[in-house]
Amino acid sequence: MKGIAVSKGVAIGKAYLLDRSKFCILKQKLEDHEVENEIQRFRDAIAKTKVQMVDIKNRAEKIADKYAVILDTYTLLLDDDILVNDTIENIRKNRTNAEWTLNQTLQNFLNLFDNINDDYLKGKKDDLDLLVQAILRNLIGHSQETLSDIQEPVIIVTHSLSPSDTLSMPRNFIKGLATETGGKTSHVGIFAAALGIPAVTGIKNLTSQINTGDNVVVDGIDGEVIVHPNEENSQYFLKKQENYRRYEERLLANIHQSAETLDGHQIHLLANIESNQEAKTLRKFGAEGVGLYRTEFLYMSASNLPGERELYENFKAVAQEMGKRPVVIRTLDIGMDKQLAGIPTNDEDNPALGLRGIRLSLAKPELFLSQLKGILRASLYGNVKVLYPMISSVSEIIQANELLQKAKELLKEDQIPFDENIEIGAMIETPAATICIDHILEHVNFISIGTNDLIQYLLAIDRVNENVAHLYQPFHPAVIRALKQIFDAAKKANKKVSICGELGGDPMATMLLLGLGDLHDLSMEPHSIPKVKKIIRLIRLEEARQMADHVLNLSSVEEISQFIAKEMRTRFPDDFDRDLSFQEKIIPA
């Protein structure tokens, strides 16, 4: 059965079928005098669900910060006007029982979701559904089978998995996960990836084809679930599992080596992080510092906007953890795909072109100042740098720098020490910044290329719209030319260049990126570091330059992609030809 691979690895074992099928909801008509009682019963169920969700969130924080952030959306939804007030209004108007009325509200919501072209929101649809099931359970008074009784290693097979399920699971016994609902952005995907449990989601009719005790394989590499594998299949997946394990092990073997090409050019490999908790683990992947601290998540996970002190303490913890290693803290980049409850900007028609990134910070100087002061104060404890997101003109950098100067003066007035020479950088992620790169470079110490947005804006392709996802092409000649222009200008200005978008962590692009210019560092999801490092250590800069020169002369995405894939597969068959590395042969230990 084919599904979505959301967490890598291969799990082989016995299935544990978790019954999370939905309730059968009956419609009941209420007498007039019963209506207010019914509404109270509904309110009680909401309140109870809220308490349960907060409890789950507190427990989740102990497992993974990023995962706890997701659970906040559940609590927010319980305060949602449409979900709660619409249901109450309809109980009154239609005189129908709470279960039925809530279910109707849910159906309306789900229809709405179906018409939304947003991958991220679509992923959230399953989460909303789960939340309503939790409220329904509280209304019906139905307690469900708990996973905490599992005593042996199993592969969980289920329609869906609620946040409380994921937390009550004895994690040592969960070898793999297979679900009918959910995707990469839903909490199941994030949970599995955070814990490294092989997982496949989105398989229709999965639960009707598997029983508890059945032998199953969850292939989180290629997104497949196999029931009752025969002897030949079993051998094949055992090999694939072992190969993947060895492959990961071998990659991690290089973590103490520097990312240096065969002809002696060193690139620094840094990590992208979203919470200070991650700073503790990134060294185990060989990260040499933090190249991008996305601070939005600090704001998204808090019920109130974090103040200067809270920010300072958070940043200080990262700076201290990293010691002399760099920590690049990006100022708030709210807007578009990252929304804040306290600062709503999502009613804009074109949020990607709206009040996001530095524009929002300049429009709300108080908010920006508290960030800048938090960063400055933390700068005393390590090698901290500031990074401004979504720069599209020199005047934005000038204004931002003026506010940075003001933040310094305010701290001086209060006799609070900081690093006077803190470096500042601009993210290059708009076409305007690319075209005017020479001017921008005059005002900063370094630049960091945000390829995620740069590709979106250069190609006019919404990065979260599934209808145009096939056109989101990092290897588009326009992207490569833009990168080349940026590198050339930075070399002339003698300024450092970093790449912190996803492309920087894509091993397929590593050689090309090195060839395009003088790359100071690449910043990426920490788990991508070992593979990118492996490639850097096996190439010569001279060859990378030749590759880039050739690619710059090609005119289409197809030509470029094919050329790069062929080159990389020939040079690194174990890394780019999955058939070879994980399936057909055993990699020597």
What residues are labeled active site?
187, 500
State which residue, 163 or 526, has the beta carbon closest to ligand PEP: 526
Q: Which of 453, 506, 521, 567 contacts ligand PEP by CB under 6 A? A: 453
State yes or no: residue 462 binds ligand PEP (CB under 6 A).
no
CB under 5 A: which stretch of 264-272, 321-329, 405-413, 425-433 binds Mg ion?
Answer: 425-433
Q: Which of 163, 335, 425, 450 contacts ligand PEP by CB under 6 A? A: 450
Give yes or no for a contact between 259 and 537, defined as CB atoms under 8 angstroms apart.
yes
State which residue, 261 or 295, has the beta carbon closest to ligand PEP: 295
Q: How far is the CB of 392 from ligand PEP (least distance, A)?
A: 13
CB under 6 A: which stretch of 2-10, 397-405, 450-458, 579-587 binds ligand PEP?
Answer: 450-458
- Upper half-sphere CA count for residue 513 (Cβ side, 13 Å): 26
State which residue, 454 or 514, has the beta carbon closest to ligand PEP: 454
State yes or no: residue 202 binds ligand PEP (CB under 6 A).
no
Alpha helices, H only, 169-227: 187-195
- 3-state helix, strand, coil split of the chain in percent (to 5) is 55, 15, 30
Number of other residues whose CB lies within 10 A of the CB of residue 413: 8
Distance CA 567, CA 564 (A): 5
Q: How far is the CB of 452 from Mg ion (least distance, A)?
A: 5
Please give the helix or strand (H or E) that residue 4 lies within, else none. strand 4-7
Question: What separation in angstroms does the CA of 73 have from each of 128, 186, 205, 340, 374?
Answer: 9, 11, 28, 11, 26
Distance CA 154, CA 172 (A): 10
Number of residues that bind Mg ion (CB under 5 A): 3
Number of residues that bind ligand PEP (CB under 6 A): 10
Give yes or no for a contact between 458 and 431, defined as CB atoms under 8 angstroms apart.
yes
Q: How far is the CB of 202 from ligand PEP (least distance, A)?
A: 24
Q: How far is the CB of 328 from ligand PEP (least distance, A)?
A: 11
Q: How far is the CB of 292 from Mg ion (least distance, A)?
A: 9
State yes or no: residue 452 binds ligand PEP (CB under 6 A).
yes
Q: Which of 99, 127, 453, 567 contacts Mg ion by CB under 5 A? A: 453
Distance CA 88, CA 39 (A): 6
In sequence order, the 6+-apart residues with CB closer than 8 A to the CB of 171 are: 195, 197
Phi then psi for residue 367, to 5 deg, are -60, -45
Can you say whether the dihedral through the CA atoms of 38, 42, 47, 49 is positive or negative? Answer: positive
Q: Which of 450, 505, 507, 517 contacts Mg ion by CB under 5 A? A: 450
Q: How far is the CB of 396 from ligand PEP (least distance, A)?
A: 16
- DSSP letter (8 states) at residue 354: S
CB under 6 A: which stretch of 83-91, 279-287, 445-453, 513-521 binds ligand PEP?
Answer: 445-453
Residues that bind Mg ion (CB under 5 A): 429, 450, 453
Residues that bind ligand PEP (CB under 6 A): 292, 294, 333, 429, 450-453, 500-501
